[in-house]
Chain A
Amino acid sequence: DAKTTQPPSMDCAEGRAANLPCNHSTISGNEYVYWYRQIHSQGPQYIIHGLKNNETNEMASLIITEDRKSSTLILPHATLRDTAVYYCIVRVANTNAGKSTFGDGTTLTVKP
């Protein structure tokens, strides 16, 4: 699986959009981008995933660049409860999810 690079930390004001970047310049054509988050002392929570088209669900939007070398997770209206570590991983979708490699992630702090 391709390696990802994320900034170690970011701050965001409550109510504003949080934009979390991820670099995956060695991504292969059949690898998907997945995002998870982990709130302190809890298990990671799946957020969203995509291949090349932008995706949106009730939690977030995922914007993937045309060359697929980077992506951005967008939380449109961040709340204090969105404070967490956000992990970006890339993985071939039809392979075992258990082999996912989680990096260090980005610690997002939402401030009032």
Chain B
Amino acid sequence: KAGVTQTPRYLIKTRGQQVTLSCSPISGHRSVSWYQQTPGQGLQFLFEYFSETQRNKGNFPGRFSGRQFSNSRSEMNVSTLELGDSALYLCASSPTGVGEQFFGPGTRLTVL
């Protein structure tokens, strides 16, 4: 079974721009969660989608948004990028959102 895939793997943007990241979960997994990882803050939960609905949300500003499609693929969008948004963005999937999660390799976003 193929693992969780994320595209692109690396991205460089400038302040004020917006960005869309994509995540394809493991086949059959309906839950997709997004995390932001920075050296200072560690691994922080952004939001979780299950069956195209946002089920949980972390403490991030409204500039961070996401969606999930009927095939469970998910996208994450960050508008009006700030320097502090530079981070590794990780996507994780699980069959129902309960139990262990399977993480993708991440997208390394650099904001200049």
B4, B50, B101, most chain A CB atoms within 10 A:
B101
Using known A-B contacts A43-B4, A43-B90, A93-B99, determine if residue A98 contacts B104 with beta carbons closer than 8 Å.
Answer: no
Residues of A within 8 A of B (CB): 34, 41-46, 49, 87, 93-105
Interface size class of B (residues with CB under 8 A): 20 to 34
**What is the CB-to-nearest-CB distance from A22 to chain B, in angstroms, rounded to a whole number?**
16
Contacts of A49 in B (CB 8 A): 99-100
Shortest Cβ distance from residue A4 to the other chain B in the assembled complex, whole angstroms? 12
B92 at the interface (CB under 8 A from A): yes
Given contacts A101-B45, A103-B42, contact A96 B103 (CB under 8 A): no
Per-residue A-contact encoding for B41-74, CB less than 8 Å = 1, 0 else: 0110101101000011000000000000000000
B33/A97 in contact, CB under 8 A: yes
Question: A95 to chain B: which residues have CB within 8 Å?
Answer: 98
B contact residues around A93 at 8 Å (CB): 98-99
Apart from A44-B92, A97-B33, A101-B45, list 16 A-B contacts with CB within 8 A.
A43-B105, A44-B103, A46-B100, A46-B102, A49-B100, A96-B50, A96-B56, A97-B94, A97-B98, A97-B99, A98-B45, A98-B48, A98-B55, A98-B56, A99-B48, A100-B45
Which residues from chain B sit less than 8 Å from chain A, CB to CB? 4, 31, 33, 35, 42-43, 45, 47-48, 50, 55-56, 88, 90-92, 94, 97-106
B44 to chain A, nearest CB (A): 8
Q: How far is the CA of A110 from the CA of B58 in the complex (A)?
A: 34
What residue of chain B has the Cβ atom nearest to residue A49's Cβ?
A: B100
A94 → chain B closest CB, angstroms = 6
Give the contacting residue for A98; candidates B4, B97, B102; CB below 8 A.
B97
In the complex, what distance in Å separates the CA atom of A91 from the CA atom of B55?
A: 17
Query: Taking the nearest CB of chain B, how far is it from the CB of A6, in angstroms?
Result: 12
A87 and B47 alpha carbons, distance in the complex (Å): 20
The chain A residue with its CB closest to the CB of B100 is: A46
A43 to B: closest C-beta gap in Å: 3
Out of B4, B45, B88, B106, which one reaches A99, CB within 8 Å?
Answer: B45
Alpha-carbon distance A49/B98, docked complex (angstroms): 12
